[in-house]
Chains A and B, each alone.
Chain A
């Protein structure tokens, strides 16, 4: 969806301001938000794509004024309510109601190192050969779906070149909507600065995105 999260090329935010000697966390609550996110994700009710969608669909003003852990917290609240683990009333009151949904699994402390080390690989066995090869010219689709997508607005309808065939990966657009079965070939597609930004582009820079096969047409 065309929401505030799709930031590439937007202006008016001012310079990047790095923080010298930045700590890993700036407050105790940030640690807990990270940990609850990871542990709640391990219940297995949603994918990374779906939780990203919940974060992205925050109202733009809220998204742009929140810190990243605040965005994570808001996205997590939405996922927990949507999947019936908690109600909005519980989140407001902080008091648990007797009803609960049984999670597929609960991450145990001793399992954490192995679960983090394993991660959640997104490559899947290919069911068909790749449509494109390294060096092929491609054009990205012009599309504006209401749902989650990983084709950024600045790279839609642009002429690029296949630089790398990554493999067959879970397709985020459908995975975010609950269909976890679809996988597509994934490519690194590189664009010139001029193709993306016209005369305002840097002629000595290129930008690549990772693009699933259905984002691309032969050019």
Chain B
């Protein structure tokens, strides 16, 4: 059969990959049976695609760096301190802030699934949910950091937090030297997602000037 005929014989639906077709079929079933509302699905996608992400967490870190009273509240009750900044809820109902110190670096993992602090970091990256990271972080944390190009000073211990309950962990990295006098906004620009998981460190060369 020629390609010309092919185009006429099939609707565009037939160009879906098997997984696309399966998801499309499930969504159609769920909507037609009245179990989910299309508007709700769109609102959920919009939330995680455009409203929630690691910029939320970066604002919390920058505030903790500049406001010692806030840092104390964040240490004492992560959930309440994060709520002060307007964040919380699904995937982050119970938040613990893990402060890095010169003596100890924190690293977050979920060996059993993909638990991650959604309200402050958004949805997890693929590597966070994948077997290599989930397998290695608890048995070889230093080797795991090396996979990210991170090497810690000799003598700095590593504390790995396995997220086995509904508690979610947010790493508060140390404020780098050379950032004295920076605004919260400029400070937030160097707080990468990975630095709040513990697989990265803030880098002052990533700084974006205020208002950009």
Contact = CB atoms under 8 A, between A and B. Distances in A.
B210 interface: no
B165 A24 contact: no
B123 A24 contact: yes
Given A19-B127, A24-B122, A73-B23, A207 B44 contact: no
Given A32-B27, A111-B40, A13 B135 contact: yes
Contact of A32 (B23, B29, B89): B23
6 contacts: A10-B131, A13-B132, A24-B123, A34-B44, A34-B48, A36-B26
Contacts of A61: none
Interface string A31-45: 111111011101100
Contacts of A112: 40, 43-44, 47
A91 B23 contact: no
B208 interface: no
Interface string A189-219: 0100000110011101111111110000000
Interface in A136-190: 150-152, 154-155, 164, 166-167, 169-170, 172, 186, 188, 190
A209 B37 contact: no
Interface in B62-83: none
Interface residues of A, number: 96
Interface of A: 5-11, 13-19, 22, 24-29, 31-36, 38-40, 42-43, 48, 52, 55-56, 64, 67-68, 70, 73, 76-77, 85-86, 90-91, 94, 96, 100, 103, 106-113, 115-123, 150-152, 154-155, 164, 166-167, 169-170, 172, 186, 188, 190, 196-197, 200-202, 204-212
A95 B174 CA distance: 55
Given A28-B20, A106-B35, A9 B148 contact: no
B24 to A, nearest CB: 8
Contact of A7 (B91, B93, B134, B155): B134
Contacts of A13: 130-132, 135-136
Interface of B: 19-20, 22-30, 32-45, 47-49, 53, 88-94, 96, 109, 111-114, 122-123, 125-127, 129-142, 144, 147-148, 155, 157-167, 194, 199
A108 B159 contact: no
Contacts of A24: 48-49, 53, 122-123
Nearest to B45: A31
A206 B111 CA distance: 15
Contact of B157 (A19, A77, A116, A205): A205
B25 A210 contact: no
Given A17-B132, A77-B26, A116-B44, 15 more contacts: A7-B135, A16-B199, A18-B199, A28-B20, A39-B35, A85-B35, A91-B29, A96-B32, A100-B34, A109-B39, A151-B164, A164-B96, A169-B166, A186-B165, A202-B142
Contacts of A115: 90
B165 A116 contact: no
Contacts of B35: 39-40, 43, 85, 103, 106
A150 to B, nearest CB: 5
Contacts of B127: 16-19
A98 to B, nearest CB: 10
Contact of A119 (B91, B140, B141): B91
Contacts of A28: 20
Contacts of A43: 35
A16 B133 contact: yes
